[in-house]
Structure 1
Amino acid sequence: IEKEGWSGEVSGRRKDGSPITILITASLVKDEKGEPICMMDSFVDITERKFMEDELRIKDNAIASSLNGIVIGDLEGNITYVNDAFMELWGGDDISEIVGKSAVTFAEDEDKGRSIINVLQNEGNWTGEITGIRRDGIPITVQLSAGMVYNEKKEPICMMCSLVDITKRKEAEEKLQRSHEELEIRVQDRTKELTKANIKLKKEIEDRKIAENTLLKKEKELELKSLNLEEANTALKVLLRQGEKDKTELENKVLQNIKELVLPCIEKLKIYRLDDKQQAYLDILESNLNNIISPFLQKLSSKYMDFTPTEIQVANFVREGKPTKEIAELLNISERGIEFHRNNIRMKLGLKNRKTNLRTYLLSLA
């Protein structure tokens, strides 16, 4: 104080206990000889100013640390300040590349950027989506909330904008919209298919009704024919009994001829030297002739008249225990063909979907 005086801020409390900040300026008062005669102090209450400075500092920190991108510009839209979040959004780290430029230059559509500035100048605020361009040239969609800042006299002093990156959200919305449109198309296509199917079903029902009516008519006609056939059936039974008798006599005569005329010839052939293939066919011939006159084939033929000649041959080989491959070679048929005949034999013998062994069953018929 003796040399230069002193000035500083001092914090304290009022009589009522409320805080107060005072700016104190102290200096020595000297006489004509330069001798100090007293000390003069000046006390200024700066509590409100300090409060405003602290409040402004808090707001500055809030803007600087905000997760949203913050941009402040002059009344013409030229940028004067951006926070770190905006720099990260823009993809740069040198604020000098941005400050002083028009905010319009950062918009993909500069005409839209200028129209937003005009709205702010005339109406004071604007909110909506806009596409900007990052430093690397990649477009980015942001939610923009912009407003004019006014002083105590309601005079505009600057523009302030808050930006949120919604690029991923927009992409997700567009993807969802495409999925919705695709689903709509699929629903429409499915509806058309169901409509066609419904029309077809109605036609089928109508056709079925016509067929049922026709069937009823045919059934009535058959009833009349059935009455006429009963008499004819009686006559046929008499003829069938006679036919069975004639058949039995014919079978016995055929069997007798085989035994007396054919089998002796086979015995004579055995005397000659035959190759393996000729011998195999001779054995098959003899075996089949013996089977013809055997009780097994007589029983099989009489009981199951709907067996084809090939099925009778396959059944005979199965009864003898020959495998499918050997039967196929002997009959010159593929193995799948033999399996087909085996399935037909099982079906005709009533063994379909039963675990009964086919060879065991055939042996039981002998």
Structure 2
Amino acid sequence: MDDQGQRRLLEELEQLRRRLVHAEAAEDRRRQAELALRDGEELFRATFEQAAAGICHADPQGNYLRVNQRMCEMLGFTREELLNLSFQKVVHPDDLEEGVRLTGKLLSGEIDSYCSEKRYLTKTGAEVWANRTVSLVRDEAGRPKYFISLIEDITERKKAEKALRESEQRYALAVEAGKVGVWDWNLKSGEIYLDPLLKSLLGYEDQEIANHIDAWAGLVHKDDRAAVRQASGAHLSGAAPRFAVVHRMCHKNGGVRWFQTSGNVVKDAEGVPGRMVGTHTDISERKEAEEELKKHRNQLEELVKQRTAELQQKNQELTAQAHKLAELNAALKVLLEQREKDRNEIEAKIITNLTKLVYPYLEKLQSTRLDDDQKMLLDIAWINIKEVTSPFIPNLATTLINFTPREIEVSNLVAKGKTNKEMAEVLNLSVRSVEFHRDNIRKKLGLRKKKINLRTYLDSLA
């Protein structure tokens, strides 16, 4: 082989060697690309599955192609169940129209991605609020391939926002109902935030009163300004634990409104007072009620005084009348007692006269021989005498005839239920004398040493 042939062979061998080197380099790049692809796929799978938010891929019709574990946990479905559903089946019906509208913009190329808050329905029907970020992947020809959605559960945040709104609404209603307004005074600049409600309580629009302490202080009633300054100064100096004062404010219509003001100092990091924050509460109605109550109380006290004077006068008149009645009653009692005494004496005299002057002769006649007519006349005499004497010696049997006049008086009083003391007063005797006569009466009636009540026995003689 000549030199030319050898050179050609060497060139071909060199070209072959170069091809082999290029092939080995290409194979090495392919292997590296495969390794990088596998690493990327592993990284994607780890990111997809271990993400703290839900991630899903869906075809252009909305059917789920891939879902991660977090999304399954959020909605309560298994992976297999979700892959047989479309997003239209799990989005809340009230939020579906907006989702379809935004998806349409992605498909048309009007937008590249969107972010929205919407509700999903779990397998049990419960609502889950989510912040959803959606983008569209297209193929090399620009055709829609699949959607990528990142879904973050914001249910707790939504609950907190709802609770905050409700709390703010309750506060606003309470403030409006209670006529309470908040203020925040910058002690250095003099600027003050005034709740628009405070200004409206004085008849002003928000912009009609400058947010400066001088403007607000100028509306304090002139007679109350010193008290307000003293109360705020005492709190700022530390002499009072809080700023508290009741005062009047001037209304736009020329009237006044009563306010109860409370506030506390807010100090900076160095302990220097920087702000004072507090509230103004309109207590005009309460003050009016207090004044009305005070007026009625004064009227009532005056009426009580007048009534007391009238009652005292009436009491004096009644006392005088009572004294007169007492005197009349005492006189009447004396007259009645004397009448009772006189009656008893008359009765006793009648009984005595009958006993001494009549009964002996009637008894003597009764012991003689009388014919039937005479006996009848004598019986009639006995009956008539008893009938005549019955009003003042009621129902007493003839057994009393042997009594002395005084014993008859005592017997009559005993029969009427008089006590020894009362009989002593009526008969003008001592209690001991009355007891002596009672003892004689019991003896004559055969009641000595017998447990028989004398009044009961005398009543039984009826």
Q: TM-score range by the shorter chain?
A: 0.3 to 0.5
Q: Which has the larger radius of gyration?
A: 2
Q: TM-score, normalised by structure 1?
A: 0.41
Q: TM-score, normalised by structure 2?
A: 0.33
